[in-house]
Amino acid sequence: MTVVEQQAATAPAVAASSRKRSFKPRYPGWLTAPSLVYYAIFFLGPMAILVAFSLATQQGFGSLSYGFNTSQYGQIGNSLYVNIFIRTLVMASVGSLLTIAVGYPLAYWMARYLSTYKLLALLLIVVPFWTSFLIRTYALKIILDPNGYLARDLGINILYTKYAVALGLVYNYLPLFILPVFASLERMDWTLIEAATDLGARPLTAFREITLRLTLPGVVTGALLVFIPMTGEYIIPNILSGGNYEFVGNAIGDQFNSAQNQPFGSALSIALMLALSVFVAVYIFFATKEERFGA
């Protein structure tokens, strides 16, 4: 009884101040403490030691002396490693462009022409992405096998070449590109296209002037969303190029596996992160732009 009265009394007040409410349920800030401590130890810790290692000096096998030795970084200037960096960036760019070419029309089709089956199509895009990366890469390898049908009967023998790596990149990262682009196409107001064509614009012109412009931030975000992990890729070049076509990630792995030159591997890691940070900055720029446009 009293509760009801109280509510009745406060109801108009709430309605009147609905724009600026005094009450905001908040959860205490210390709830972030466990994660913060965890990140500080097990994420920032490894990153810090990585920096320390990259500046250390190797003394014989497996023994280090810390210091400020930048010679490891100088070694990256070696044409062998410059080439690996260039190859990685070129392959990631090619992979991203191919992903755009394959994925954009699909996202467009989903947003423009589907209604009942839209969610099903979305699910079909997501499912491969949630299944094991390794299994999908392996599946691709079976198809591309030199003894398989593709090579034997159709003459497409590309396993262990850069073409197989590019195919693997597109195959594995396509869903990751389609989702954000689909989201930005979903937000599009299609009546704008109708208006444009009613006013005499040809469909292609309407697409170029309206659809493409409005979804470009989404495309750039999606492209960087795949470009960034492609640059750090390790599994795909290893399996599909059989070690013939190394990415920076593989070069780093080698330093820790077989070569046992951990300071140099650490320096390569730092260099990779620095290279990536440029693209991450661009990504953040476009992502905030996209957010503002969407809101």
Partner 1 sequence: MRRLPKAKLGFTVWAVLVFAFLYLPILVMAIFAFNKPAATSLASFHGSNVCSIPPEQVGNITVWNGFTTCWFPAGIHDPTYIPAIITSLQIAAEASVISTVLGLAAALALARMRPRLRAPFDALVYLTLVVPEIVIAVASLIFFVQLRNHFGAFPDLGKATILIGQVVFNASLAMLIIRARFVGMGDVLEEAAYDLGSGPLATFRQVTFPRLLPGIVAAALLSFTFSFDDYVLPAFTNGTTNTWPIVLYSAVRFGLTPAVNALATIMLGVTVLAVTVTAVILRRSRAQVGAGRERTRGLAITVGGLR
Restricting to residues 116-135, name those near partner 1 by CB under 8 A. 119, 121-135
Q: How far is CA 268 from the centre of its chain?
A: 20
CB–CB of 58/261 below 8 Å?
yes
Helix or strand (DSSP H, E) at 58 = strand 57-58
Interface positions, 253-272, toward partner 1 (CB under 8 A): 253, 255-256, 262, 265-266, 269, 272
State the nearest-atom distance from the C-beta of 70 to partner 1, in Å: 19
Q: Among residues 19, 24, 154, 258, which is the contact residue for partner 1, using CB under 8 A?
A: 24
Does residue 86 interact with partner 1 by CB under 8 A? no
Size of the site for partner 1 (CB under 8 A): 103
CB–CB of 165/245 below 8 Å?
yes
> Interface with partner 1 by CB under 8 A: which range of 46-54, 66-74, 76-84, 90-98?
46-54
Does residue 28 interact with partner 1 by CB under 8 A? yes
Cα-based distances in Å from 116 to 110, 113, 189, 255: 10, 10, 19, 52
Interface positions, 175-234, toward partner 1 (CB under 8 A): 175-176, 179-180, 182-183, 186-187, 197, 203, 225, 228-229, 231-234
Does residue 294 interact with partner 1 by CB under 8 A? yes
Cα-based distances in Å from 5 to 1, 14, 29, 287: 6, 14, 34, 48
- Which residues are CB-neighbours of 4 under 8 A, at least 6 positions away? none
Cα distance between residue 189 and residue 185, in whole Å: 9
Interface positions, 153-182, toward partner 1 (CB under 8 A): 171, 174-176, 179-180, 182
State the nearest-atom distance from the C-beta of 78 to partner 1, in Å: 20
Q: Among residues 206, 219, 252, 267, which is the contact residue for partner 1, using CB under 8 A?
A: 252
Q: How far is CA 127 from the centre of its chain?
A: 17
